[in-house]
Structure 1
Amino acid sequence: MSEQDRLDEEDAYDYQDHAHRERDRPDGPGDRRRRPTSAQELLSGTARSVFRLNGQFLAVSEELARPSGLAADWWQVLGAVLHEPLPVAGIARSTGLIPRDVRRIAELLVEKSLAAYEPDPAHSRAELLRPTGEGLTAIRRTGPGHAELAARLTAELGEEGLAETVRLLERLSTALDAIGPRP
């Protein structure tokens, strides 16, 4: 084995060990891990946690959506229009998806008769997406799994803990909207 191969292998082990420590580290009062000391470290830690949380939500969403015949991203787009029809741009803003992906998913939902377009009275060239009866039925089929996960999460965090988590995530999202994407 060459010296470079050996170093690459050591780096891979170091990375895996670091990832393992990050994943399994405790967060309790006896936690002795080094605390972030700068705003940049705090931002990085927040981003890692949110990226991991996003992956966890995508995985659980796929499982919850499966009985309804939906994919997680279909469920996400349909969920955005449950209370009122929205244009693609509005769905993108409310879900964090990019408009091109929303358009692709919306077209699939329309093709599968889970959603339909209707004219947007505010904009003559825009259309609003709304769920069809079949789409609403599919969403309702996610209900039992969704309720069971909500109950388990509430048991783990407590009702106030879960509510506080929602408030903090919304606060973070609002702050990011306020400061914009400038580097």
Structure 2
Amino acid sequence: MSGTREQELLSRTALGTFRLNGQFLAVSEELARPAGLTAAWWQVVGAVLREPLPVAGIARTMGITRQSVQRIADLLVTKGLAEYAPNPAHRRAKLLRPTQAGRDAVRKIEPGHAALAARLRTELGEEGFAETVRVLERLSEALERVAEP
């Protein structure tokens, strides 16, 4: 492969991240299935468990398009797992919040989620697991800064 060492590192980082994304999606689908959710539905409901958010805010947090989140949010509302609420800060951008059924569905995922977290902690070690999180967050923040126009 031609190019600089930095280009090689960037390519390896991107390929590793794409693979990791695929692995997380596969594991998430397995964890979410018994609760009657998909990984994408879980992701969107999970984004609003602490506080209701507008679709654009969920999209920003998740790093995906607003249109993708809107499609999933509408589906969650249709399925009774979430609902739209008025947004005092913006009349047209309603807030998405989970219903009790949505909260119950996410709660069904928690035992499998906890078990996977414990297995990863055992595999990586407590400090290694925490360092992995720090490195990924740092990479995301750096890429956000350098990719700005």
TM class by smaller structure: over 0.9
Aligned length: 147
Does 1:50 pair with 2:13? no
Runs of 5+ consecutive residues of structure 1 not aligned to the other structure: 1-35
Give distance in 1, aligned partners of 2:4 and 2:108.
Answer: 46
Equivalent in the alignment of 2:104: 137
State the alpha-carbon separation in 2 of the partners of residues 109 and 84 from structure 1: 16
1: CA distance, partners of 2:30 / 2:63:
21
* Corresponding residue for residue 88 of structure 2: 121
Alignment of 1:10-159 (within 5 A): 38-159=5-126
Task: Give the secondary-structure state (helix, strand or coil) at the position aligned to 2:92.
Answer: strand
Q: After TM superposition, where is structure 1 displaced by more than 4 Å over at least 4 residues in a row?
A: none
Q: Report the counterpart of residue 134 of structure 2 in structure 1.
A: 167
Structure showing greater radius of gyration is: 1
1:88 maps to amino acid: V
> TM-score of the superposition, structure 2-length normalised?
0.95
Measured in 2, the distance between the counterparts of 1:108 and 1:72 equals: 13
Q: What TM-score do you get using the length of structure 1 for normalisation?
A: 0.78
| Identity between Structure 1 and Structure 2 (%) | 67
- Of structures 1 and 2, the one scoring higher in RCO (CA 8 A, sep 6+) is 2
The secondary structure found in structure 2 opposite 1:91 is helix
Matches of 2:6 and 2:148, distance apart in 1: 17
In structure 2, distance between residues paired with 1:142 and 1:66: 9
Q: Indicate the residue corresponding to 1:177 in structure 2.
A: 144
Name the CA distance, whole Å, in 1 between partners of 2:8 and 2:42: 34
